[in-house]
Amino acid sequence: MAIFHLTVNIISRARGQSIVAAASYRSGTTLRDERYGTTHYQSRKRKVAHAEIVAPPGAPLWAHDREQLWNRVEAAEPRKDSQLARLVEVGLPVELGCDTAAELVRDYVGRAFVARGMIADFCIREDQHNPQAHILLTLRGVTATGFGPKERLWNGKAILLEWRSGWAERVNEHLARAGHAVQVDHRTLAAQQIELIPGRRVGIGRPRQGPAALPAHLKDRISEQQRIARDNGEAILEDPSVALRALTLQRPTFTLDDLARFLRPRTDGSEQFDAALRRVAESPETVALDPAAVAPRRFTSRDMLEAAKSLRQRTLSMAARRGHGVTPPPEGSDLRPAMSDDRRRAFDYLISDGDAKALVLSDDAKGQVLEAARRAWEAGGWKTGLATASAETAARLAARTGIPSRTVAEWEEAWRESRDTPVRESVLLIDGAETLGLKQLERFVAHVDKARAKIGLLGDLDRVDKMRIETPFSGVLSGIGLADPVS
């Protein structure tokens, strides 16, 4: 199942590394290394499903040629201990095929790296159980005339955290677009309130972890991972709800196969695995959604059902509540700009009475509709705010709509510290509501409801329209009514 994995390392001469060799190895191509006068033959050694270079607009033609690109990087670094490139490895969701995974990585590198001036050379490695992408990044920005100075700002902890959260957002967006109600989370297990020990990355596949002779450091890693798995298995046997909480954070419903895939790396040996599988499957906290259904039957946890019930009841109650309606401004006024008919209906629906609104908008329509709604609400004395999945999206929408924006996590952190809490005159919007986890969405709505404020749940047209699995968002839509999708 989809997991979050992202690591960042530096390719450096101080470690005896060559960036041409690294690019050849990861892309599975034969490259000539001009600095060392050698040729790296890797075309038959790697199962590479896709390899691609993405460069900023206006970059020289050689930036798209792998051999020329990395030889120029080598030539630009004269020091014997020079740092040559950055390597980012990410785990790909097994739910996505190779073409969709390539779209995901291309989207991510374009936003996170290429938009800042880096050149990204990425490849997707075929592995049925552990698909992954390796991304090689230049340490210098590139222009039409060549490389600039090294960018020290790209080395900071803050930007690493941004890359991690951005990868989680892109993965969740593409999973939702493909119709999978599955999520990954870049935060630590402790931050997610999951009472399990993080696994140890071994660095080799399971077939090689047997009795064959291995270096001492790999044996130590395998031994440590087995101890962690055994401890996690004991925690699950003692309290199966630990596994249920962790699993349902990834997916609101699951099959027994999903449960088995979740438990296998978190238990040690077949005996503990079988015992944990029985313990969780037979737990009173595990609920069959349709006991009469033929295989594969789907399950969820009792607390997820309670959260879904609470979310539906709250949104129905809020939708019937009055007090936040704004009279539509006259046609042609500053508060009612010229719009197409469908956007005008969306605008009227959003500002009308009812403290819970749900609206599906295309990205194109979002800016115009929300900016007009903000003006109308502010003229009526209401205070607006916008929550998003990522800081990048928050900044973009704030610039387009004029609505103060921050991530959902940042809003919740502020509320825990009694800052910027919603009041009766507040209107809070959630962009990309269909990508939020059920409990997070319910928690946010509950906070707004208790303040007697208004909430708007905004879905993205290209994602919601293609969803095949019901999400908490679609359940809310069917409960409180949905304005026609707006393009």
**476 and 328: one domain?**
yes
pLDDT, residue 391, reads 80
**291 and 316: one domain?**
no
Mean pLDDT, residues 417-445 taken together: 89
Mean pLDDT, residues 246-251 taken together: 88
188 assigned to some structural domain: no
Reply yes or no on whether the pLDDT at 53 is more than 90.
yes
Identify the band that residue 440 occupies on the pLDDT scale cut at 50, 70 and 90: confident
> Which tokens belong to 309?
């019930």
Identify the band that residue 211 occupies on the pLDDT scale cut at 50, 70 and 90: low
Burial (CB count <10 Å: 0-12, 13-18, 19+), residue 78? exposed
**266 and 357: one domain?**
no
pLDDT, residue 456, reads 92
486 assigned to some structural domain: no
406 assigned to some structural domain: yes
289 assigned to some structural domain: yes
CATH number of the domain that residue 349 is part of: 3.40.50.300
* Residues constituting the chain: 487
Question: 216-238 vs 241-250: helix axis angle to the nearest 10?
Answer: 110
Q: Would you give the distance in Å from CA 375 to the centre of its chain?
A: 31
432 assigned to some structural domain: yes
pLDDT, residue 209, reads 55
186 assigned to some structural domain: no
pLDDT, residue 169, reads 86
Q: Which residue has the tokens 């929408």?
A: 397
190 assigned to some structural domain: no
As a whole number of angstroms, the distance between CA 127 and CA 47 comes to: 8
Mean pLDDT, residues 46-75 taken together: 93
Mean pLDDT, residues 423-436 taken together: 89
- Over residues 83-103, the pLDDT tens digits come to 999 999 999 998 888 889 999
Of 465, 395, 380, nearest in space to 431 by CA: 395
360 neighbors 465 (Cβ within 8 angstroms)? yes
Identify the band that residue 376 occupies on the pLDDT scale cut at 50, 70 and 90: very high
**31 and 13: one domain?**
yes
As a whole number of angstroms, the distance between CA 435 and CA 385 comes to: 19
The letter for the amino acid at 419 is: R
**144 and 272: one domain?**
no
Percent of the chain surpassing pLDDT 70: 90
**256 and 356: one domain?**
no
Angstrom CA distances, 270 to 96, 183, 193, 197, stand at 29, 28, 27, 20
- Over residues 273-324, the pLDDT tens digits come to 999 999 999 999 999 887 776 677 889 999 988 988 888 889 889 988 988 8
When divided into structural domains, the chain yields a total of: 3
The letter for the amino acid at 373 is: A
As a whole number of angstroms, the distance between CA 232 and CA 307 comes to: 26
Most confident region among 263-272, 311-320, 338-347 by mean pLDDT: 263-272
205 assigned to some structural domain: no
Last residue of a domain, one of 272, 297, 322: 297
User: Computed from CA positions of residues 113, 116, 118, 119, in that sequence, does the dihedral angle turn out positive or negative?
Assistant: positive
Q: How do strand 454-460 and strand 426-431 relate by DSSP bridges?
A: parallel
Mean pLDDT, residues 458-467 taken together: 62
As a whole number of angstroms, the distance between CA 441 and CA 324 comes to: 21
As a whole number of angstroms, the distance between CA 169 and CA 110 comes to: 14
Last residue of a domain, one of 275, 297, 319: 297
CA-angle at 257, arms to 193 and 470, nearest 5°: 70
**267 and 316: one domain?**
no
Domain that holds residue 366: 304-480
Last residue of a domain, one of 248, 272, 297: 297
As a whole number of angstroms, the distance between CA 272 and CA 14 comes to: 45
Q: What is the 3-state secondary structure (H, E, C) of the chain?
A: CCCCCEEEEEEEHHHCCCHHHHHHHHHCCCEEECCCCEEECCCCCCCEEEEEEECCCCCCHHHHCHHHHHHHHHHHCCCCCCEEEEEEEEECCCCCCHHHHHHHHHHHHHHHCHHHCCCEEEEEECCCCCCEEEEEEECEEEECCEEEEECHHHHCHHHHHHHHHHHHHHHHHHHHHCCCCCCCCCCCCCCCCCCCCCCCCCCCCHHHHCCCCCCHHHHHHHHHHHHHHHHHHHHHHHCCHHHHHHHHHHCCCECHHHHHHHHHHHCCHHHHHHHHHHHHHCCCCEEECCCCCCCCCCEEEHHHHHHHHHHHHHHHHHHHCCCCCCCCCCCCCCCCCCCCHHHHHHHHHHHCCCCEEEEEECHHHHHHHHHHHHHHHHHCCCEEEEEECCHHHHHHHHHHHCCCEEEHHHHHHHHHCCCCCCCCCEEEEEECHHHCCHHHHHHHHHHHHHCCCEEEEEEEHHHHCCCCCCCHHHHHHHHHCCCCCEC
As a whole number of angstroms, the distance between CA 390 and CA 406 comes to: 8
